[in-house]
C-alpha cells in the first residue's frame, strides 16, 4: 500500500527512463536520499519535468512504498532555482562538489534534517552572496563530515588527548588524524601544519564567517579532507567535480 507524503527535496541527479519518463535522485528533508520517477517528464509540455534539475530545491508529493526502490512523483513545486549558481562556473563547480558528496556518501533512506538544512543554507549563500565559493565549500566540507559520522577532530591530539591551540606545532597522520609535536616524534607524519594554516582550520570550524584566508590554503585544507575521507571510506576516491577545468 502506497503512502502519500510531502517533503522538501534537493535534486541530486536525473536519468532518462523509457520513452518519456525521468528518474531522479533527491536528498529530502524527511526521508534522506531517495529515487523517484516522474512519468512524462521529458515532454516539452511538462513544466514539472523542467523543474527536476540539479540542484533545484523542490517540494515533492510522492506515492511512497517502503518495499519499492523507486517512488512515484505526484506533484512538484519549485522553491528555489539557484539561477546565479548555474550562471557562474566557480559557483557551479562547488555546488556540484556538494551534490557529489551527498550522492556518494549519503546512504539511501537515511534522513538527517540538520544536514539537509545546512545544505540548503550553503547553496543559498552560493547563490545570493559574493562570498568566495572555495571558502563556503570548505566550511561545508567540515560540517558534512561531522554530520555523516566522520568528524575531523581538531581540538585535541588524537593520540594523547592533549588540547591543541593555534600556537602548537600540529601534524597530520592518515591513521591517527591530527597529532601534537610530542606524539609525532616516533610517527610518520603526512603533513605538518604551519601556525597560520592550523589557525585557519580552527576558524573554519567556528561560527565566525569573517575569516582571513588565502585561497591556496583553502585548497590545501580541501585536499587534506579528501585524503582523510579516502583513508576512512575505501569506496571514496576524491571529489571529481573539483578536478574539472
Q: Which domain holds residue 214?
A: 84-243
Give the mean pLDDT of 168-183: 86
CA distance 46 to 162: 59
Residues 137 and 223 in one domain: yes
Residue 168: give its domain's CATH number: 1.20.1440.120
pLDDT surpasses 80 at 137? yes
| Boundary of a domain, candidates 81, 99, 131 | 81
Distance CA 95, CA 89 (A): 10
For the record, the C-alpha cell of 66 comes out as 517502503
166: Cβ contacts below 8 Å, ≥ 6 apart: 195, 198, 199, 202
**Measured distance CA(93)–CA(187) in Å, rounded:** 37
pLDDT tens digits, one per residue of 90-110: 999 999 999 999 999 998 888
Residues 111 and 166 in one domain: yes
| pLDDT above 90 for 48 | no
**pLDDT of the residue at 4:** 93
Claim to verify: residue 145 and residue 62 sit in the same structural domain:
no
Q: Which of 81, 107, 123 is the last residue of a domain?
A: 81
Let me know whether 36 and 154 are in one domain. no
Read off the pLDDT of residues 14-29 as tens digits, 9 standing for 90 and up.
988 877 778 899 999 9
Are residue 121 and residue 206 in the same domain, yes or no? yes
Residue 148 binned pLDDT confidence (cut-offs 50, 70, 90): very high
Q: Give me the number of domains the chain comprises.
A: 2
Question: Which residue in 113, 117, 105 sits closest to 149, CA to CA?
Answer: 105
Among 134, 158, 138, 149, residue whose Cα is nearest residue 215 = 134
Mean pLDDT, residues 68-87: 93
Asked whether the beta carbons of 83 and 89 are under 8 A apart, the reply is no
CB atoms within 10 A of CB 73: 24
Residues 160 and 40: their CA atoms lie apart, in Å, by 59
pLDDT of residue 15: 84
Cα dihedral 60, 14, 69, 98 sign? negative
Grid coordinates given for 84: 546565479
Among 28, 51, 81, identify where a domain stops.
81
pLDDT tier for residue 133 given thresholds of 50, 70 and 90: very high
Residue 63 sits in the same domain as residue 117: no
Q: Is 50 strand, coil or helix? A: helix
Residue 237 has pLDDT above 70, yes or no: yes
The verdict on 234 and 124 lying in the same domain is yes
Q: How would residue 245 be classed by pLDDT, with cut points 50, 70 and 90?
A: low
Query: For the chain, what percent of residues have pLDDT higher than 70?
Result: 97
Q: For residue 190, is pLDDT > 80? A: yes
Same domain, 150 and 98: yes
Amino acid at each position: 500500500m502506497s503512502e502519500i507524503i510531502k517533503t522538501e527535496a534537493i535534486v541530486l541527479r536525473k536519468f532518462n527512463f523509457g520513452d518519456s519518463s525521468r528518474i531522479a535522485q533527491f536528498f529530502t528533508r524527511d526521508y534522506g536520499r531517495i529515487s523517484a520517477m516522474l512519468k512524462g517528464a521529458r515532454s516539452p509540455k511538462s513544466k514539472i519535468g523542467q523543474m527536476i534539475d540539479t540542484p533545484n530545491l523542490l517540494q515533492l508529493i510522492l506515492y511512497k512504498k517502503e518495499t519499492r526502490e523507486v517512488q512515484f512523483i505526484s506533484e512538484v513545486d519549485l522553491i528555489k532555482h539557484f539561477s546565479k549558481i548555474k550562471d557562474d562556473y566557480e559557483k557551479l563547480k562547488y555546488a556540484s562538489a556538494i551534490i557529489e558528496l551527498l550522492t556518494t556518501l549519503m546512504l539511501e533512506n537515511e534522513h538527517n534534517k540538520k544536514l539537509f538544512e545546512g545544505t540548503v543554507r550553503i547553496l543559498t549563500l552560493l547563490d545570493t552572496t559574493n562570498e568566495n565559493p572555495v571558502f563556503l565549500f570548505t566550511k561545508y566540507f567540515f560540517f558534512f563530515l561531522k554530520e555523516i559520522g566522520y568528524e575531523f577532530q581538531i581540538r585535541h591530539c588524537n593520540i594523547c588527548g592533549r588540547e591543541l591551540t593555534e600556537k602548537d606545532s600540529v601534524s597530520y597522520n592518515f591513521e591517527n588524524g591530527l597529532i601534537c609535536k610530542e606524539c609525532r616524534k616516533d610517527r610518520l607524519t603526512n603533513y605538518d601544519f604551519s601556525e597560520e594554516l592550523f589557525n585557519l582550520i580552527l576558524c573554519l570550524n567556528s561560527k565566525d564567517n569573517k575569516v582571513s584566508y588565502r585561497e591556496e590554503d583553502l585548497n590545501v585544507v580541501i585536499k587534506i579532507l579528501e585524503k582523510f575521507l579516502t583513508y576512512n571510506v575505501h569506496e571514496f576516491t576524491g571529489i571529481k567535480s573539483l578536478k574539472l577545468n
